[in-house]
């Protein structure tokens, strides 16, 4: 295992439902450190670029609609094996299939409004972190 960084997003539905604190608490409880964070409202262009890998998928239009529907809280998380640790505490994409006590099981409404985004691999994490944060706004510790 190595110290890694990963990107996490509290999606618009969870921000609107007042779940920022609950979600960040779950992340900190599993030992992830929040080393950068900001609230932003994605433009259509930003959302389409960020989720570009899903452009041809049937759920893409709805995904983009939801991601631009309100502000999001974007964070960089750091810790041992952070990519996997975050994916584990997030739970499965579909909240009905997410393990009990995972973020998506607790805070997800359905498969599209599933509370959080998390990078799926270290390489993806590096790209996604650079998409949102200048290096001098990240505070490893
Ligand atoms: O977010 P995660 O990596 O778990 O799933 P993904 O397969 O990378 O899909 C990205 C996002 O698209 C999901 O988090 C959902 O918000 C949405 N999605 C959806 O609405 N319907 C699906 N069948 C699959 C994904
Ligand atoms: Mg994904």
Give residue 112 CA to ligand 1 midpoint distance, Å. Answer: 6
Report pLDDT digits (tens) over 22-73: 999 999 999 999 999 999 999 999 999 999 999 999 999 999 999 999 999 9
Between helix 82-90 and helix 20-29 the angle, nearest 10°, is: 130
> pLDDT tens across 71-97, in order?
999 999 999 999 999 999 999 999 999
Residue with the smallest CA separation from ligand 1 atom 20 is 112
pLDDT digit string, tens, across residues 6-26? 999 999 999 999 999 999 999
Question: Which tokens go with 140?
Answer: 């490893």
51 alpha carbon, closest ligand: 1
CA-based angle 21:83:55, to the nearest 5?
A: 90
Ligand 1 pocket mutation, candidates 56, 59, 95, criterion most atoms within 8 A of CB? 59
Q: Cα dist. 91→29, 46, 120, 136 in Å?
A: 15, 25, 12, 31
Q: What angle do CA 54, 86, 97 make, to 5 degrees?
A: 65
pLDDT of residue 1: 77
Query: Taking residues 111-125, what's their average pLDDT?
Result: 98
Residue 94 gets which letter from DSSP?
S
117 is catalytic: yes
Which ligand is closest in space to the CA of residue 116? 1
- pLDDT at residue 8, as a whole number: 99
> Token pair of 44, please?
């259509």
Is the model's pLDDT at 117 over the cut of 80?
A: yes
Q: Is the Cβ atom of 114 under 6 angstroms away from ligand 1?
A: yes
As a whole number of angstroms, the distance between CA 72 and CA 40 comes to 6
CB of 120 shorter than 6 A to ligand 1: yes
Ligand 1 close to Cβ of residue 63 (< 6 A): yes
Q: Which residues pair with 112 in a beta bridge?
A: none
**Looking at residue 102, what is its pLDDT?**
99
Answer yes or no: are the C-beta atoms of 89 and 102 closer than 8 Å.
yes
pLDDT at 119 > cutoff 80: yes
- Regarding the beta carbon of 124 and ligand 1, being less than 6 Å apart is answered no
The arithmetic mean of pLDDT across residues 85-112, rounded, is: 98
């Amino acid at each position: 295992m190595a110290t890694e960084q990963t990107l996490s997003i509290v999606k618009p539905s969870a921000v609107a439902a007042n779940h920022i604190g609950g979600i960040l608490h779950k992340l900190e409880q599993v030992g992830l450190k929040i080393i950068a964070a900001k609230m932003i409202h994605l433009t259509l262009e930003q959302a389409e670029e960020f989720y570009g890998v899903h452009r041809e998928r049937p759920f893409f239009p709805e995904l983009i609609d939801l991601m631009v529907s309100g502000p999001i809280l974007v964070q960089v998380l750091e810790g041992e094996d952070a990519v996997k640790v975050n994916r584990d505490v997030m739970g499965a994409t579909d909240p009905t299939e997410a393990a009990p006590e995972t973020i998506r099981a607790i805070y997800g409404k359905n498969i599209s409004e599933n509370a959080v985004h998390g990078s799926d691999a270290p390489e993806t994490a590096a790209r996604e972190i650079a998409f949102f944060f200048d290096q001098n706004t990240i505070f490893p510790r």
